Amino acid sequence: MAPLLEAAVDGDAAARAAVRAGAGRLELCGDLSLGGVTPTDALLDGAGDRWGVPVAVMIRPRGGDFTYDAAERARMARDARRAAAQGASALVLGGLTSAGDLDPAVFGAVAEAAPGVPLVCHRAFDRARDLPRALDALADLGVDRVLTSGGAPTAWAGREVLRALVRRGGDRVTVLAGGTVRADHAAALVAHTGVRELHADGRDATVLAALAAVRYSPA
C-alpha cells in the first residue's frame, strides 16, 4: 500500500496543483518561506472542502523560534477556533520551553480552543532535546501525528531515528516523515522505517507527482 502523501502549500494555486499531482492531504500554511505560519483569512475561508482532500491547518503566530509567551498562545487559540470553523481536518502546531522540551501550555491552549479537532506537532519536535521523551509527551497530550525528519537535516539522513520513533509511537502517535523526501529514496525510506505517511513541499508539483508515482512493495 502506498503511503499517504501530504503536501505543504501556501496558496490556492499550489493547493490545486498539489492535489492534481497526487497529494492525499494538504497542510495549509501562510508563507512557507518562513517555514509556514497561520494562513490568512482569505486562504483559510472554506478550506475544509475547497480542494476535495483533508486540510490540516498550520497554527503558528510567527516565524523564528518555537518558544511562545502567553499573548502568542492566546493568538494561537483564536486562530485554532477560526481554522476549526472553516473545516480543518487537523491543526498543526508546536511549542518548546526554554529548556528544550515540548510546551504543554501551547498544545493545551489549542486543544481547549478547538475541542475534538486532531492535533499534529510540526517540526518543532526535531528541536526538542530528547526525541523519544518528546514523542511520549505528545502521546500523553493526545496529539495524533508528528512531522519529523528524525532530528536530521533530511528524513533519509534521519531514517534510523525515524524507524525507532515509528516503533515507539505504535498506535499512539503517527509518524509523518518529512524533510526533502524524494522519489529516488521514498520506497526505501518507507520500507526501512515503517512510516505510512510522507510530507513534501507542495510548491513543486513535479516533485509531488514523482512521489505519487513511486511503487511500494508490501511491508
**Residue 219 domain flag:** no
**What percent of the chain stands above pLDDT 90?**
98
- Whether the per-residue pLDDT at 124 is higher than 70: the answer is yes
Give residue 217's pLDDT: 85
Strands (E), 35-184: 55-58, 90-93, 119-121, 145-148, 174-178
Residue 219 — pLDDT band, cuts 50, 70, 90? low
Mean pLDDT, rounded, for 118-127? 98
**Residue 82 domain flag:** yes
CA angle 93, 79, 19 (to 5 degrees): 65
What is the count of structural domains for the chain? Answer: 1
- Whether the per-residue pLDDT at 1 is higher than 90: the answer is no
**CB crowding 167-200: b at 16 or more within 10 Å, else e:** eebeeebbbbbbbebebebbeebbeebbbbbbbb
**Residue 99 domain flag:** yes
C-alpha cell at 146: 508528528
pTM exceeds 0.85: yes
**Residue 218 domain flag:** no
**Residue 108 domain flag:** yes
**Residue 157 domain flag:** yes
171: phi then psi, degrees, rounded to nearest 5: -95, 15
The CATH number of the domain holding residue 11 is 3.20.20.380
Distance of CA 192 to the CA centre of its chain: 21
- Whether the per-residue pLDDT at 50 is higher than 90: the answer is yes
**What percent of the chain stands above pLDDT 70?**
100
pLDDT in tens, 143-197: 999 999 999 999 999 999 999 999 999 999 999 999 999 999 999 999 999 999 9
Give residue 6's pLDDT: 98
Residue span of the structural domain in which 45 resides: 4-213
